[in-house]
Amino acid sequence: MKIPNLVSFKGAARWGRHAVWDVGLSLTRLVRRPAPGEFQPYTYTRTDRYPWLFGFAAEHIGPRENLRILSFGCSRGEEVFSLRRYFPAANIKGIDINARNIARCQARARAIGFANGTFELAATTAGEASGSYDAIFCLAVLLNGDLTTSKAQRSDPLLRFETFDRLIGDFARCLKPGGLLVLHTTNFRFCDTAVAAHFNVVCEADPKHLAPDVLFDRNNQLMSGERERYRAVAFQKL
């Protein structure tokens, strides 16, 4: 009697596990909806994810005393810890809507003795003082990846422009005059917001740094091909 090849069994088992995982992930994405106040339902991040953008910001802002920086939607803290290398003397605060993310950030900060840095659970900047930050970073937060993968023609009901506009308006309130807003990978354009006229564009991304995520207009309608044209990522408050 021929004995089945054990390697074949192992390969089939691995294939089966991957197939189940893929199906499960697809089903999860079909039903996953942002929690109240949440845009991006996925927490993917990595260390020094945008070195070209962090480097630009550090050069643009330059060394100054009492520098205060906010990382909005800091996820598991990689952005905050990465920003420390670019702004060694700054006071850096990270906020996120996910309590587990904040707990993880705080534990890591304690473990490494992260000075001049704090983490706080928050869905918006409503609790921040007006004119209190020299820079606000909001990177790959104000979007939902499923809008791209599903080829959605409208952003609602997942996301609405009015919510984006309101958040950006409060970012503007929190920035000092001359402050820098760094806004990369979103599902809406900064230029469509009510506060855009109070900012100058100071950095546009090289096309190779643009994510494939789609853009929607003020009416939540897909703007076909606009991602390739719209490259503004950093804005200075007048």
Please state, as a whole number, how many other Cβ atoms lie within 10 Å of the Cβ of residue 238.
Answer: 9
For the CA atoms of 15, 150, 141, 216, what is the dihedral angle to 10 degrees?
Answer: 160
Element (H, E) at 120: strand 117-121
Q: Are the C-beta atoms of residues 108 and 102 closer than 8 Å to each other?
A: no
Please state, as a whole number, how many other Cβ atoms lie within 10 Å of the Cβ of residue 33.
Answer: 11
Which sequence spans correspond to the domains of the chain?
1-31, 35-237
Q: What are phi and psi of 78, to 5 degrees?
A: -60, -35
Percent of the chain scoring above 90 in pLDDT: 72
How large is the C-alpha radius of gyration of the chain?
A: 20
Kindly indicate the confidence band of residue 35, based on its pLDDT and cuts at 50, 70 and 90.
low
Q: What are phi and psi of 181, to 5 degrees?
A: -110, 120
Distance separating alpha carbons of residues 161 and 141, to the nearest angstrom = 14
Q: Are the C-beta atoms of residues 151 and 179 closer than 8 Å to each other?
A: no
Kindly indicate the confidence band of residue 33, based on its pLDDT and cuts at 50, 70 and 90.
low
pLDDT digits (tens, 9 = 90+) for 122-149: 999 999 999 999 999 999 999 998 999 9
Distance separating alpha carbons of residues 98 and 24, to the nearest angstrom = 22
pLDDT digits (tens, 9 = 90+) for 160-219: 999 999 999 999 999 999 999 999 999 999 999 999 999 999 999 998 888 888 999 999
Average per-residue pLDDT in the chain?
Answer: 86
Q: What is the mean pLDDT of residues 75-85?
A: 95
Which CATH code fits 35-237?
A: 3.40.50.150
Distance separating alpha carbons of residues 42 and 81, to the nearest angstrom = 19
Q: Are the C-beta atoms of residues 154 and 221 closer than 8 Å to each other?
A: yes
Q: What is the mean pLDDT of residues 40-63?
A: 89
Residue of 70, 93, 80, 46 lying closest to 183 (CA atoms): 70
Q: Which residue has the higher pLDDT, 44 or 99?
A: 99
Provide the 8-state DSSP code for 34: P
Distance separating alpha carbons of residues 237 and 169, to the nearest angstrom = 12
Distance separating alpha carbons of residues 29 and 182, to the nearest angstrom = 28
Q: What are phi and psi of 154, to 5 degrees?
A: -135, 150
Residue 223 has pLDDT above 50, yes or no: yes
Q: What are phi and psi of 66, to 5 degrees?
A: 55, 35
Q: What is the mean pLDDT of residues 107-121?
A: 96
Distance separating alpha carbons of residues 36 and 15, to the nearest angstrom = 37
Residue 2 has pLDDT above 80, yes or no: no
Q: Are the C-beta atoms of residues 161 and 193 closer than 8 Å to each other?
A: no
